[in-house]
Chains A and B, each alone.
Chain A
């Protein structure tokens, strides 16, 4: 793939990303009213709350939604200066920024709204009883083995084809050209597996009222995120499989092959984005049917999670929810693995640069 193709791809990718964000913005803007009148997120409030004290809270919530747009400034600069291949890094930074910002935003808005909560309703929301599912949750319980076999065999086939291409004409293909892109895709998949592990382990305490509905809503959300992970793995495997085809193509067909690849990728991305929106709506409806419950804080997380990071080896959670936001537990295995992964990614990128 030539540099101009990559730049063109990144521009398309960024534009698509922007389009998909518009729907997300609308969805998040409506989220405070998802449960209907008398509710602000999961806080029971007076019916006219958003016309009274809630007006300012709601306005600030909407304003805070725009914070991640700060990262769009460098993106515009990159677009204007022509360094569009760097847009990928802006997108990669924007995705966690949007989600983290939303988490904090909801937490702040809810905390502010609790001051105006209806007393009798808010007592009903609290519970002193926690239900624990005794069904083990392991990554293998959420793994589709036929899919794993298909992905594994496709990757192995592509790697064998690349080895063959490199051995038969090393003068035409450099080691970096042949193996860097599939290597990057494989490393990307490793990261997705780590994310899957975190999603599976994500804590799921259950209330003792509406237990089945609550559990189904949580499980459906978990499966949705896992499916998103697998979708990304499928797309990256397609990239690995497409690479030897592209390398072995005659020079005349190269352009048309790239166009076919880009077209297929665009169709896949648009189809994926449409599906995501439909599924998100279903999940939101499912979640709205479940009565909100505040489960007891048995470990005093509110005290432990005073800072954005904490070190609690005896606490099994990756993220602790405190009174004023969230705290990343640096003593959790997932934190170690995530840090190692990011260092590895930086190393991989430096290696590619050095070999260039």
Chain B
């Protein structure tokens, strides 16, 4: 058996053509995919899981396993009106909502994110506190933070609708038509709702 590392685009295109014969119910790009024609031993999966790139474990005749892990990337824009801690919190929330960060996924330590971004420790700590308050992450002392199980939110429908109303107001004031707004909302919902139950 040999392993072949290839680019995300190549794997996506192979997925699109379903060259691996993976059942559609399993073929979720950007998440771990196990091709079940013949499962690899667990230890091999663990070894592959440590790699942060795309690896196909191949047999000359058939694919034994496919493992895909996209580098989870949080994007921070300096010209964004939101403060940095808010951008960090919103970015992680979005990844959780899309299902790219699943329950139990470890998050980098506050110090790592703060150093990578080149900001004060408090900036990232504030973002993590907000995520913890929202019940999206669990902070385990000594072992870091992990994504929490998806629980029904404690917020009231009114509280949840307020930011939506604010955003819609911005669209209306910008002169967008109702149809265009609905189309944009549907597109965003499609993006965000990928990880929904």
The answer to whether B116 and A203 have CB atoms under 8 Å apart is yes
| Chain B positions within 8 Å of A208 at CB level | 73, 75
Residue contact A211 to B71, C-beta cutoff 8 Å: yes
Given A141-B50, A203-B116, CB of A136 within 8 Å of CB of B72: no
Q: Is the CB of B118 within 8 A of A133?
A: no
Q: List which B74-133 residues lie within 8 A (CB) of chain A.
A: 74-79, 84, 88, 92, 95, 101, 106-109, 111-122
Q: A interface, by DSSP: helix, strand, loop or mixed?
A: loop
Q: How many residues of A contact B (CB 8 A)?
A: 33
Task: Select one of B7, B73, B118, B119 contacting A206, CB under 8 A.
Answer: B73
User: Does A354 sit within 8 A of B, measured CB to CB?
Assistant: no
Partner of A205, one of B7, B52, B95, B116: B116
- Complex CA distance for A201 and B116, rounded to whole angstroms: 9
Chain A window 131-144, contacts with chain B (Cβ cutoff 8 Å), 1 for yes, 0 for no: 11111111001000
Comparing A38-46, A74-82, A230-238, A291-299, the segment that makes contact with chain B is: A291-299
Let me know if B77 and A136 touch, CB within 8 A.
no
Instruction: Please determine whether A136 and B76 come into contact, CB atoms closer than 8 angstroms.
Output: no
The answer to whether B117 and A134 have CB atoms under 8 Å apart is no
- CB contact under 8 A between A211 and B115, given known A136-B106, A298-B84, A314-B122: no
A134 to B137, CA, bound (A): 14
Is A212's CB within 8 Å of the partner chain B?
yes
CB of A204 within 8 Å of the partner chain: yes
In whole angstroms, how far apart are the Cα atoms of A301 and B106 in the complex?
29
- Closest chain-A Cβ to B96's Cβ sits at a distance in Å of 11
Q: How large is the interface on B (under 10, 10 to 19, 20 to 34, 35 or more residues)?
A: 35 or more
User: SS class of chain B's interface: helix, strand, loop or mixed?
Assistant: mixed
Provide the residues of chain A in CB contact with B115, threshold 8 Å: 201, 203, 316-317
Residue of B nearest to A203 (CB): B115
CB-based nearest A residue for B124: A316
- Say yes or no: A133-B78 contact (C-beta < 8 A), given A141-B50, A314-B121: no
B32-78 CB contacts (< 8 Å) to partner A: 50, 52-53, 71-78
Q: Is the CB of B116 within 8 A of A132?
A: yes
Q: Which residues from A are CB-within-8-Å of B92? A: 134
Asked whether any CB of chain A lies closer than 8 Å to the CB of B144, the reply is yes
Asked if A315 is an interface residue, CB under 8 A from chain B, the answer is yes
In the complex, what's the smallest C-beta–C-beta distance from B102 to chain A, in angstroms?
12
- B139 sits at the interface (CB 8 A): no
- A264 CB, min distance to chain B CBs, angstroms: 32
> Quick check: A128 and B108 within 8 Å, CB to CB?
no
**A136 and B109 within 8 A (CB):** yes
- Residues on A with C-beta less than 8 A from B74 are 131-134
B residues near A138, Cβ cutoff 8 Å? 109
A55 to B117, CA, bound (A): 36
Enumerate chain B residues within 8 angstroms of A295, measured Cβ to Cβ. Answer: 118
CB distance B118 to A135 under 8 Å?
no
Interface string of A198-214 (1 = CB under 8 A from B): 00010111101001100
Asked if B120 and A133 make an inter-chain contact with CB atoms under 8 angstroms apart, the answer reads no
Residue of chain B at shortest CB distance from A135: B52
Option from A131, A141, A296, A298 in Cβ contact (under 8 Å) with B73: A131
User: What 6 A-B pairs have minimum CB-CB distances, sorted nearest first?
Assistant: A134-B72, A316-B115, A132-B74, A203-B115, A316-B114, A128-B78
* 9 A-B pairs (CB sep. < 8 Å): A129-B75, A130-B78, A133-B108, A133-B116, A201-B111, A205-B117, A298-B117, A301-B118, A317-B118
14 other contacts beyond A131-B73, A133-B71, with CB at 8 A cut-off? A128-B79, A129-B76, A130-B78, A131-B75, A132-B73, A132-B116, A141-B50, A201-B111, A203-B115, A212-B7, A295-B118, A298-B78, A298-B84, A317-B118
